[in-house]
Chains A and B, each alone.
Chain A
Protein backbone atom coordinates (compact mmCIF):
# COMPACT_ATOMS: atom_id res chain seq x y z
CA UNK A 1 0.00 0.00 0.00
CA UNK A 2 2.69 2.46 1.05
CA UNK A 3 5.02 1.32 -1.76
CA UNK A 4 2.15 1.66 -4.24
CA UNK A 5 1.66 5.36 -3.50
CA UNK A 6 5.45 5.82 -3.45
CA UNK A 7 5.55 4.49 -7.01
CA UNK A 8 3.07 7.17 -8.01
CA UNK A 9 4.80 9.95 -6.07
CA UNK A 10 8.26 9.11 -7.48
CA UNK A 11 6.78 8.95 -10.99
CA UNK A 12 5.21 12.39 -10.42
CA UNK A 13 8.57 13.80 -9.34
CA UNK A 14 10.48 12.19 -12.19
CA UNK A 15 8.00 13.73 -14.63
CA UNK A 16 9.03 17.28 -13.70
CA UNK A 17 12.66 16.27 -13.22
CA UNK A 18 12.94 15.57 -16.96
CA UNK A 19 13.32 19.35 -17.30
CA UNK A 20 16.81 18.85 -15.83
CA UNK A 21 17.60 16.31 -18.55
CA UNK A 22 16.44 18.76 -21.23
CA UNK A 23 18.55 21.51 -19.61
CA UNK A 24 21.65 19.30 -19.33
CA UNK A 25 21.76 18.07 -22.94
CA UNK A 26 21.01 21.55 -24.30
CA UNK A 27 23.54 23.24 -21.99
CA UNK A 28 26.26 20.90 -23.26
CA UNK A 29 26.29 22.81 -26.57
CA UNK A 30 28.16 25.85 -25.25
CA UNK A 31 30.68 26.62 -22.48
CA UNK A 32 28.69 29.39 -20.76
CA UNK A 33 25.50 27.37 -20.69
CA UNK A 34 27.32 24.36 -19.34
CA UNK A 35 29.02 26.45 -16.66
CA UNK A 36 25.58 27.60 -15.51
CA UNK A 37 24.32 24.03 -15.39
CA UNK A 38 27.42 22.88 -13.50
CA UNK A 39 27.14 25.67 -10.93
CA UNK A 40 23.55 24.56 -10.28
CA UNK A 41 24.40 20.84 -10.21
CA UNK A 42 27.39 21.47 -7.95
CA UNK A 43 25.52 23.65 -5.43
CA UNK A 44 24.01 22.21 -2.26
CA UNK A 45 20.45 22.69 -3.49
CA UNK A 46 21.37 21.24 -6.88
CA UNK A 47 22.98 18.21 -5.26
CA UNK A 48 19.97 17.77 -2.99
CA UNK A 49 17.55 17.81 -5.94
CA UNK A 50 19.76 15.46 -7.99
CA UNK A 51 20.13 13.09 -5.04
CA UNK A 52 16.36 13.01 -4.61
CA UNK A 53 15.98 12.54 -8.34
CA UNK A 54 18.41 9.61 -8.34
CA UNK A 55 16.52 7.92 -5.52
CA UNK A 56 13.14 8.55 -7.19
CA UNK A 57 14.47 7.10 -10.45
CA UNK A 58 15.84 3.93 -8.86
CA UNK A 59 12.83 3.50 -6.60
CA UNK A 60 10.43 3.91 -9.52
CA UNK A 61 12.50 1.52 -11.69
CA UNK A 62 12.53 -1.18 -9.00
CA UNK A 63 8.84 -0.56 -8.26
CA UNK A 64 8.19 -0.93 -11.98
CA UNK A 65 9.97 -4.31 -11.98
CA UNK A 66 7.68 -5.32 -9.12
CA UNK A 67 4.65 -4.33 -11.21
CA UNK A 68 5.99 -6.27 -14.21
CA UNK A 69 6.36 -9.35 -11.98
CA UNK A 70 2.77 -8.86 -10.83
CA UNK A 71 1.68 -8.52 -14.48
CA UNK A 72 2.83 -12.11 -15.03
CA UNK A 73 0.53 -13.25 -12.21
CA UNK A 74 3.36 -13.98 -9.76
CA UNK A 75 4.35 -12.40 -6.44
CA UNK A 76 0.90 -11.94 -4.93
CA UNK A 77 1.40 -14.10 -1.82
CA UNK A 78 1.51 -12.29 1.56
CA UNK A 79 5.19 -13.05 2.21
CA UNK A 80 6.12 -12.34 -1.41
CA UNK A 81 4.46 -8.95 -1.31
CA UNK A 82 6.23 -8.07 1.94
CA UNK A 83 9.53 -9.22 0.49
CA UNK A 84 9.06 -7.25 -2.74
CA UNK A 85 8.13 -4.07 -0.85
CA UNK A 86 11.20 -4.37 1.40
CA UNK A 87 13.47 -5.15 -1.57
CA UNK A 88 12.07 -2.13 -3.39
CA UNK A 89 12.88 0.28 -0.56
CA UNK A 90 16.19 -1.22 0.60
CA UNK A 91 17.31 -1.74 -3.00
CA UNK A 92 16.54 1.84 -4.01
CA UNK A 93 18.40 3.34 -1.02
CA UNK A 94 21.40 1.02 -1.48
CA UNK A 95 21.74 1.59 -5.23
CA UNK A 96 21.28 5.37 -4.82
CA UNK A 97 24.06 5.51 -2.20
CA UNK A 98 26.39 3.39 -4.36
CA UNK A 99 25.76 5.60 -7.41
CA UNK A 100 26.44 8.75 -5.37
CA UNK A 101 29.61 7.37 -3.82
CA UNK A 102 30.86 6.54 -7.31
CA UNK A 103 29.71 9.94 -8.59
CA UNK A 104 31.26 11.94 -5.74
CA UNK A 105 34.53 10.07 -6.16
CA UNK A 106 34.43 11.21 -9.80
CA UNK A 107 33.78 14.91 -9.13
CA UNK A 108 34.63 15.60 -5.47
CA UNK A 109 32.38 17.20 -2.84
CA UNK A 110 30.04 20.17 -3.28
CA UNK A 111 31.74 23.38 -4.33
Chain B
Protein backbone atom coordinates (compact mmCIF):
# COMPACT_ATOMS: atom_id res chain seq x y z
CA UNK B 1 0.00 0.00 0.00
CA UNK B 2 1.87 3.04 -1.17
CA UNK B 3 -1.08 5.37 -1.20
CA UNK B 4 -4.58 5.24 0.17
CA UNK B 5 -7.07 6.09 -2.57
CA UNK B 6 -10.14 5.08 -0.70
CA UNK B 7 -11.17 5.36 2.85
CA UNK B 8 -12.92 1.98 2.50
CA UNK B 9 -10.88 -1.11 3.19
CA UNK B 10 -10.15 -3.62 0.38
CA UNK B 11 -12.49 -6.09 2.10
CA UNK B 12 -15.34 -3.60 2.14
CA UNK B 13 -14.92 -2.98 -1.60
CA UNK B 14 -15.27 -6.65 -2.57
CA UNK B 15 -18.10 -7.41 -0.15
CA UNK B 16 -21.36 -8.17 -1.90
CA UNK B 17 -19.75 -9.52 -5.07
CA UNK B 18 -20.48 -13.07 -3.98
CA UNK B 19 -18.72 -15.64 -1.89
CA UNK B 20 -15.92 -17.83 -3.13
CA UNK B 21 -17.34 -20.92 -1.48
CA UNK B 22 -17.40 -22.91 -4.73
CA UNK B 23 -14.45 -21.09 -6.29
CA UNK B 24 -12.22 -24.15 -6.41
CA UNK B 25 -14.90 -26.66 -7.45
CA UNK B 26 -13.88 -26.82 -11.12
CA UNK B 27 -10.19 -26.96 -10.17
CA UNK B 28 -10.85 -29.83 -7.77
CA UNK B 29 -13.13 -31.77 -10.15
CA UNK B 30 -10.51 -31.42 -12.88
CA UNK B 31 -7.97 -33.18 -10.65
CA UNK B 32 -10.37 -35.85 -9.37
CA UNK B 33 -11.39 -36.76 -12.94
CA UNK B 34 -7.73 -36.58 -14.05
CA UNK B 35 -6.81 -39.18 -11.42
CA UNK B 36 -9.81 -41.34 -12.38
CA UNK B 37 -8.88 -41.02 -16.06
CA UNK B 38 -5.52 -42.74 -15.55
CA UNK B 39 -6.71 -46.29 -14.68
CA UNK B 40 -9.87 -45.88 -16.79
CA UNK B 41 -7.89 -44.86 -19.90
CA UNK B 42 -5.47 -47.76 -19.44
CA UNK B 43 -8.47 -50.11 -19.17
CA UNK B 44 -10.24 -48.53 -22.17
CA UNK B 45 -7.10 -48.72 -24.35
CA UNK B 46 -6.70 -52.38 -23.36
CA UNK B 47 -10.37 -53.05 -24.26
CA UNK B 48 -9.99 -51.31 -27.65
CA UNK B 49 -6.83 -53.29 -28.47
CA UNK B 50 -8.43 -56.62 -27.62
CA UNK B 51 -11.37 -55.73 -29.90
CA UNK B 52 -9.28 -54.66 -32.92
CA UNK B 53 -10.05 -56.75 -35.98
CA UNK B 54 -12.92 -58.56 -34.25
CA UNK B 55 -16.28 -58.80 -36.03
CA UNK B 56 -19.37 -56.86 -35.00
CA UNK B 57 -21.13 -59.58 -32.92
CA UNK B 58 -17.93 -60.19 -30.93
CA UNK B 59 -17.42 -56.45 -30.32
CA UNK B 60 -21.07 -56.01 -29.31
CA UNK B 61 -20.88 -58.96 -26.92
CA UNK B 62 -17.64 -57.81 -25.26
CA UNK B 63 -18.64 -54.13 -24.97
CA UNK B 64 -22.00 -55.18 -23.54
CA UNK B 65 -20.57 -57.60 -20.98
CA UNK B 66 -21.02 -56.35 -17.40
CA UNK B 67 -17.41 -55.59 -16.43
CA UNK B 68 -16.43 -53.99 -19.74
CA UNK B 69 -19.67 -52.00 -19.94
CA UNK B 70 -19.23 -50.58 -16.43
CA UNK B 71 -15.58 -49.68 -17.12
CA UNK B 72 -16.61 -47.97 -20.37
CA UNK B 73 -19.43 -46.08 -18.61
CA UNK B 74 -17.04 -44.85 -15.90
CA UNK B 75 -14.50 -43.93 -18.60
CA UNK B 76 -17.13 -41.99 -20.58
CA UNK B 77 -18.40 -40.17 -17.48
CA UNK B 78 -14.93 -39.22 -16.27
CA UNK B 79 -13.49 -38.04 -19.61
CA UNK B 80 -16.56 -36.00 -20.58
CA UNK B 81 -16.63 -34.27 -17.18
CA UNK B 82 -12.88 -33.65 -17.46
CA UNK B 83 -13.02 -32.32 -21.02
CA UNK B 84 -15.91 -29.99 -20.23
CA UNK B 85 -13.88 -28.25 -17.52
CA UNK B 86 -10.74 -28.20 -19.67
CA UNK B 87 -12.51 -26.64 -22.64
CA UNK B 88 -14.15 -24.05 -20.40
CA UNK B 89 -10.71 -23.01 -19.15
CA UNK B 90 -9.51 -22.66 -22.76
CA UNK B 91 -12.58 -20.56 -23.65
CA UNK B 92 -12.15 -18.33 -20.61
CA UNK B 93 -8.46 -17.84 -21.42
CA UNK B 94 -8.84 -16.88 -25.08
CA UNK B 95 -12.37 -15.54 -25.65
CA UNK B 96 -12.89 -12.14 -24.06
CA UNK B 97 -16.08 -10.95 -25.74
CA UNK B 98 -18.84 -11.59 -23.20
CA UNK B 99 -21.51 -12.84 -25.60
CA UNK B 100 -19.10 -15.09 -27.51
CA UNK B 101 -17.66 -16.42 -24.28
CA UNK B 102 -21.05 -17.26 -22.76
CA UNK B 103 -22.26 -18.82 -26.01
CA UNK B 104 -19.19 -21.04 -26.23
CA UNK B 105 -19.38 -22.04 -22.57
CA UNK B 106 -23.00 -23.12 -23.02
CA UNK B 107 -22.18 -24.92 -26.30
CA UNK B 108 -19.29 -26.64 -24.52
CA UNK B 109 -21.59 -27.97 -21.81
CA UNK B 110 -24.10 -29.15 -24.42
CA UNK B 111 -21.39 -30.90 -26.46
CA UNK B 112 -19.87 -32.65 -23.45
CA UNK B 113 -23.28 -33.79 -22.20
CA UNK B 114 -24.36 -34.96 -25.68
CA UNK B 115 -21.18 -36.94 -26.38
CA UNK B 116 -21.28 -38.44 -22.89
CA UNK B 117 -24.92 -39.48 -23.02
CA UNK B 118 -24.79 -40.74 -26.63
CA UNK B 119 -21.74 -42.88 -25.78
CA UNK B 120 -23.30 -44.16 -22.57
CA UNK B 121 -26.51 -44.94 -24.47
CA UNK B 122 -24.52 -46.99 -27.00
CA UNK B 123 -22.86 -49.06 -24.26
CA UNK B 124 -26.10 -49.55 -22.30
CA UNK B 125 -27.93 -50.61 -25.45
CA UNK B 126 -25.35 -53.35 -26.05
CA UNK B 127 -25.44 -54.32 -22.41
CA UNK B 128 -29.20 -54.70 -22.26
CA UNK B 129 -29.32 -56.31 -25.72
CA UNK B 130 -31.84 -53.84 -27.15
Q: Using a CB–CB distance below 8 Å, which chain A residues touch chain B?
A: 8, 11-12, 14-15, 18-19, 21-22, 25-26, 28-31, 34-35, 57, 61, 64-65, 67-68, 71, 99, 102-103, 106-108
Q: Is the pair B45, A8 in contact by a Cβ cutoff of 8 Å?
A: no
Contacts of B115 in A (CB 8 A): 18-19, 21-22
A57 to B126, CA, bound (A): 25
Given contacts A12-B87, A12-B90, A71-B31, contact A22 B119 (CB under 8 A): yes
Q: Quick check: B122 and A29 within 8 Å, CB to CB?
A: yes
CB neighbours (8 Å) of B76 from chain A are: 21
Known: A28-B63, A61-B41, A103-B52. Contact between A18 and B90, CB under 8 A? Answer: no
SS class, residues of chain B in contact with chain A: helix
A22 touches B34 (CB 8 A): no
Cross-chain contact A15 with B49 (CB below 8 angstroms): no
Binds A, one of B6-14, B78-86, B96-104: B78-86
Indicate which residue in B56, B60, B122 contacts A35 across the interface (CB closer than 8 Å).
Answer: B56
Name B residues whose Cβ lies closer than 8 Å to a Cβ of A: 31, 34-35, 37-38, 41, 45, 49, 52-53, 55-57, 59-60, 63, 72, 76, 79-80, 83, 86-87, 90, 115, 118-119, 121-123, 125-126
| B38, B41, B52, B79: the one within 8 Å of A107 (CB) | B52
Question: Are A103's CB and B49's CB within 8 A?
Answer: yes
Q: 7 closest pairs, A vs B, by CB? A: A25-B122, A107-B53, A26-B122, A34-B56, A22-B119, A106-B52, A22-B118
Given A18-B115, A68-B31, A25 and B53 touching (CB < 8 A)? no
- In the complex, what residue of chain B is closest to A64 when comparing beta carbons? B34
Picked from B34, B49, B59, B119, the residue with its CB within 8 Å of the CB of A67 is: B34
